[in-house]
Structure 1
Amino acid sequence: MAEVTWGCVARVGVDLSKRVYQVHAVDRSGRVLLAKPLAPDRFYAWCAELPKGCLVAMEACGGAHAAARALQRLGLDARLIAGHFVTPYRMTGRSGKNDANDAAAICEAASRPHMRFVPVKTAEQQGQLSVHRLRDGYKAERTALINRIRGVLAEFHLVFPQSPEALRKVLADVIEDASSELTGIARMVLQRAHLHWIDLDLQMKWCDERIQAHVRTDERAAKAAALHGIGPIGASALVASVADFKQFASAKQFSAWLGLVPSQNSTGGKASLGRITKRGDDYLRTLLIQGAKSAVMTAGKHSDRISQWLVQLKERVGWQKAVVALANKNARILWAVLTRDDAFDPNHLPEAGASLHAQPRAGPLSS
């Protein structure tokens, strides 16, 4: 390493792992200056010798945002690339995947002039998102626990409605019912499972309180929560995940980033659209879809323009397509509201004579 002048380094690709970072550094002509694994402490010490503003690219993965912030503090241009954008630049193809080839592919991908980089999240963003991850984990654990309880009860021919609330109301009485065939050990199992269910509900309540506090204190989250089909959880997650909505050139680009636009298989001038792409963050897209389901089911109770549009759309294409259409619309309205500092108006009317190519307004956009 001492024989090379690190001031010549123009671009660095790094493949991150827990205990070793694979480094691939090149100069402006693309000549490889360094290709070797380094321990994390040695890697950051080496980065301190790089010229200010040197591009250091990494794949977006666990720990990548923290690593990028550390590199930014050293005065380097740290950037993150989504994994599916790196794979095409691996010279050995899918069958030649290893750390060295991945680092070289990251370095090559970062050199592309039209490469799309993942914005580096702040520590505050990641802290808020950790509440969502914890809540989502508790939710999955609670669902699994309820299924285990139903499995135990079904073994003794005790079957109840599928609603968790229906089971919650009768579970304590079932455990105490001496007329059933439940054995002593089975009753103890159900008692412990019931207590665990109560504890999970309390933990989820704590997470909900933290999320509600975020929405109350964050002006952008409060604006997002005002949309039909975006509640406090969705608003908090969206704002925490996307620090600057202006990074997207348009509302359509934002909805495409969330995977809410149709996939295409078009050729010869003939458009062929399929299901939504489902790209981007699964958690954000799921929250938008779930919120849209609630809005579609209650649209008949409201008289605003969006609700009326939903009622007509549901009758025409069915409730499932209407849900996806509303999730797409909400993503686009959210972009308009937060990039233009407007308030959401469910009865917004577009300006007369507005160009078809004008950017969408903060109101009911076309589907």
Structure 2
Amino acid sequence: MFDCNVITIDLAKNLFQVCKTDKNGHVIYNKAITRAKLKELLIKEKQSLVAMGSCGGTHYWARFAKQAGHQVKAINARQVKAFRQGQKTDANDALAISVAARLPHIKGSRLLSAHEQCLQGIECMRDLLVKQKVSLSNQLRGLLLELGYPIAQGDTPLIHAIPEILEEAENSLTASFRFSIHLLFKRFKETIEEAKLIEKQLHEIIKEDKTCNRLQALEGVGPVCAILIKIALGNATHFKSGREAAACFGLTPVQHSSGGKEKIGAISKVIGNKKLRSALFKGALAVVSQLEKRESRSEKDVWLKALTARRGKKVAAIALANKTIRTAFAMQKHDKEYQPQLLAA
């Protein structure tokens, strides 16, 4: 049994469903309130466990509730769904969160500070601009290829080719098409410049960040990957071990075991931190590819070469990504630098 009340919030933009239960689990009220009323309620209520689903606004409301003196638990929506009874309504969702929050084996999500959220936001905006740049590039190439103008891969060939195509007076392009291509090309160049400005901001932040500089010493970890690891791990107090962190980020195989028989599958495409896993995998794959071209320098290189020969590059890359997270967890927990075990000369 809980020694305090549980206040659960089904988050939204302006109208929130709030369910309050006593220490025995009995419902005191389950009602919809506005944003302003929710702030008043959290300030006036005595110390309680405030639980909410992990979604937009979770980190803000978690910080607000902590400042008001409450304990906070944010729960993944996939875990809450199993406890919902009846149809999908705000009231039923709030009750489901209340039930899930009382169970000790339901682990809460890690809550970010305002600084970590801002850092995450900068990286998300950089990622969006890169995707927009690629999308604009593909659109320009595709349209011009249909008209008989193949352009080589890369931003530089595209930037050089399009002005030449637009200035060519003897081709079959109409005036309206030229104008539209010109606008799209202008947007493409602006997106490149905007992405560079945000990347410059990120690099300046990384230079001043001790954690990011320390994480970049790991194999296959660059500036962006270091930021993602820092945001995901924090100070490593949220996870019990590096193995748990690696499993949480989707770097371990899915199990389907029953009757004492263990069946190990592939890594899940649904659960985990997809952005971090993708960055770790790409960096690890680059390390594996480069390792084939040089001699082993450390015990990790020897292990990685043997694994690559036995299972292939992709499996080896995932294994290295798993080891990277476990090493990063140890570094964060013990506040130490990365020291690879070098082979004897």
Tell me if both proteins adopt one fold, taking TM over 0.5 as the criterion: yes
Match for 1:316: what amino acid? R
1:354 is matched with: none
Given candidates 75, 78, 92, the residue that maps to 1:84 is: 78
Whether contact under 8 Å (2:233, 2:329) holds in the other structure is no
1:101 is matched with: 92
1:142 is matched with: 133
Deviation track 1:147-194 (CA, whole Å, cap 9, x = no partner) reads 110121022022234444443443333333345433333333222222
Deviation track 1:273-330 (CA, whole Å, cap 9, x = no partner) reads 1111242222211211222222222223443233444344333322222222221121
Given candidates 175, 200, 203, the residue that maps to 2:191 is: 200
Deviation at 1:9, TM superposition (A): 6.6
Deviation at 1:236, TM superposition (A): 1.2
Gaps of 5+ in 1: 1-7, 350-367
1:31 is matched with: 26
Gaps of 5+ in 2: none
1:289 is matched with: 281
Whether contact under 8 Å (1:12, 1:26) holds in the other structure is yes
Whether contact under 8 Å (1:9, 1:28) holds in the other structure is yes
The aligned runs of 1:241-280 (5 Å cut-off) are 241-278=232-269, 279-280=271-272
For 1:51, what is the secondary structure of its paired residue? coil
- Is residue 156 from structure 1 mapped to residue 147 from structure 2 by the alignment? yes
Please, what is the CA RMSD of the aligned residues?
A: 2.0
For 2:254, what is the secondary structure of its paired residue? strand
Deviation track 1:18-53 (CA, whole Å, cap 9, x = no partner) reads 11110111111221111110111112212222112x
TM-score by length of 1: 0.86
1:365 is matched with: none
Given candidates 312, 317, 320, the residue that maps to 1:323 is: 317
2:211 is matched with: 220
Q: In structure 2, what is the Cα distance between the partners aligned to 1:15 and 1:148?
A: 41
Q: In structure 2, what is the Cα distance between the partners aligned to 1:315 and 1:166?
A: 38
For 1:298, what is the secondary structure of its paired residue? helix
**Structure 1 residues 165, 328: CA separation in 2 closer, same or farther (over 3 Å shift)?**
farther
**Structure 1 residues 297, 66: CA separation in 2 closer, same or farther (over 3 Å shift)?**
same
How many residues matched? 338
The aligned runs of 1:183-194 (5 Å cut-off) are 183-194=174-185
Whether contact under 8 Å (2:8, 2:52) holds in the other structure is yes
Match for 1:193: what amino acid? L
Given candidates 302, 320, 340, the residue that maps to 1:346 is: 340
Q: In structure 2, what is the Cα distance between the partners aligned to 1:205 and 1:144?
A: 17
For 1:80, what is the secondary structure of its paired residue? strand
- Is residue 300 from structure 1 mapped to residue 295 from structure 2 by the alignment? no
Whether contact under 8 Å (1:149, 1:193) holds in the other structure is yes
Deviation track 1:102-147 (CA, whole Å, cap 9, x = no partner) reads 0000111111122201122111110111101101111111111111
1:40 is matched with: 35
Match for 1:69: what amino acid? R
Q: In structure 2, what is the Cα distance between the partners aligned to 1:319 and 1:159?
A: 33
Match for 1:213: what amino acid? E
Q: In structure 1, what is the Cα distance between the partners aligned to 2:122 and 2:258?
A: 44
Identity of matched residues, %: 29
Q: In structure 2, what is the Cα distance between the partners aligned to 1:161 and 1:311?
A: 35
Given candidates 207, 217, 225, the residue that maps to 1:234 is: 225
Whether contact under 8 Å (2:288, 2:317) holds in the other structure is yes
Deviation at 1:81, TM superposition (A): 0.9
Whether contact under 8 Å (1:12, 1:24) holds in the other structure is yes
Whether contact under 8 Å (1:81, 1:116) holds in the other structure is yes
